[in-house]
Chains A and B, each alone.
Chain A
Amino acid sequence: MTLSASIQTRLSDGFMLDVRLSVAPGITMVFGESGSGKTTMLRCLAGLRRPDRGHLAIGDQVLFDADRHVDIAVQHRSLGYVFQHLALFPHMTVEQNLHYGLASLDLKARRARAASIADSFRIAHLLHRKPGEISGGERQRTALARSLVTDPRLLLLDEPLSALDHVTQSRIIEDLRVWNAARGIPILYVTHSHREVFALGEHVIVLQHGKILAEGPPQEVLEAPAHESLAQLAGFENFFDATVTSLRADGGTMHCRLAEGQTDLEVPLARTEPGADVRIAVRAGDILLATEEPRGLSARNVFPGEITSMQREGATVILMVQAGCPFEVHLTPGACEALQLTSGQRVWLVIKTHSCRLVSKGQSGPLP
Chain B
Amino acid sequence: MDWSAIGLSIRLATIVCVILLVIGLPIAYWLTFSRWRWKFLVESVVALPIVLPPTVLGFYVLMAIGSRSPLGRAWERWTGHGLAFTFEGLVLASILYSLPFAVQPIAAAFSQVDTSLIEAASTLGSSRLRTCFRIIVPLSVEGIITGIVLSFAHTLGEFGVVLMVGGNLPGVTRTVSIAIYDQVQGFQYAEANATALLLLFFSFAVLSVVYAMTRKPWAVAPLS
- B125 interface residue, CB < 8 Å from A? yes
Are B125's CB and A150's CB within 8 A? yes
Which residues of A have CB within 8 Å of B208?
none
A52 CB to closest chain B CB, in angstroms?
17
Give bound CA distance, A89 to B119, whole Å.
11
How many B residues have CB within 8 A of the partner chain?
Answer: 24
Q: Given that A75-B125, A78-B125, A103-B125 are contacting pairs, would A48 and B119 also be in contact in the complex, using a CB cutoff of 8 Å?
A: yes
Chain A interface residue count: which class?
35 or more
* Assembly CA distance A83 to B127 (angstroms): 19
A60-88: which residues lie under 8 A (CB-CB) from chain B? 73-81, 83, 85-88
A46-B218 in contact given A87-B116, A90-B139 (Cβ < 8 Å): no
**Chain A residues, CB < 8 A from B124:** 75, 100-101, 146-147, 150
CB of B224 within 8 Å of the partner chain: yes
Which B residues lie within 8 Å of A75 (CB)? 122-127
Work out how many contacts link A and B, with CB atoms closer than 8 A: 78
B:109-145 near A, CB below 8 Å: 114, 116-117, 119-127, 130, 134-135, 138-139
Contact A85 B116 (CB under 8 A): yes
B185 nearest CB across to chain A (Å): 51
A79 to B224, CA, bound (A): 26
**Which residues on A sit within 8 Å (CB–CB) of B126?**
75, 100-101, 103
Given the known inter-chain contacts A83-B116, A130-B218, please indicate yes or no for A76 contacting B135, CB distance below 8 A: no
Is B221 among interface residues, defined by CB-CB distance under 8 A? yes
| Chain A interface main SS type | loop
- On whether the beta carbons of A135 and B123 are closer than 8 Å, the reply is no
Chain B residues with CB below 8 A from A104, complex form: 125
Query: Does B45 interact with chain A (Cβ within 8 Å)?
Result: no
Task: Give the Cβ gap from B54 to chain A, nearest Cβ, in Å.
Answer: 38
Asked if A91 contacts B121 (CB within 8 A), the reply is no
For the complex, is B41 an interface residue (Cβ under 8 Å from A)? no
Residue on A with the closest CB to B141? Answer: A91
Task: List chain B residues, Cβ under 8 A from A73.
Answer: 122
Tell whether, in the assembled complex, residue A87 and residue B127 are in contact, meaning their CB atoms are under 8 Å apart. Answer: no
Q: A residues 22-70 with Cβ under 8 Å of B?
A: 46, 48
Q: Which of A46, A89, A163, A164 has a CB less than 8 Å from the CB of B123?
A: A46
The smallest beta-carbon distance between B67 and chain A, in angstroms, is: 50
Q: Establish whether residues A81 and B120, one from each chain, have CB atoms under 8 Å apart when the complex forms.
A: yes
Smallest CB-CB separation from B122: which chain A residue?
A: A74
- For residue A357, CB closer than 8 A to chain B, the reply is no
- A97 to B220: give the CA distance in the assembly, Å: 15
B contact residues around A164 at 8 Å (CB): 224
Could you tell me the distance in whole angstroms from the C-beta of B7 to the nearest C-beta in chain A? Answer: 37
Check B224–A136 contact: CB distance below 8 A: yes
Q: Which residue of B lies closest to A156 (CB)?
A: B123
- List residues of A whose CB falls within 8 A of some B CB: 46, 48, 73-81, 83, 85-91, 100-101, 103-104, 130-133, 135-137, 139, 146-147, 150, 163-164
14 contacts between A and B (CB under 8 A): A48-B122, A74-B122, A75-B124, A78-B125, A81-B120, A83-B120, A86-B223, A87-B116, A89-B120, A89-B135, A91-B138, A100-B126, A101-B124, A104-B125
Which B residues are within 8 Å of any A CB, using their own CB? Answer: 114, 116-117, 119-127, 130, 134-135, 138-139, 217-221, 223-224
Smallest CB-CB A-B distances: 8 pairs: A136-B224, A101-B124, A87-B120, A87-B116, A81-B123, A90-B220, A132-B220, A74-B122
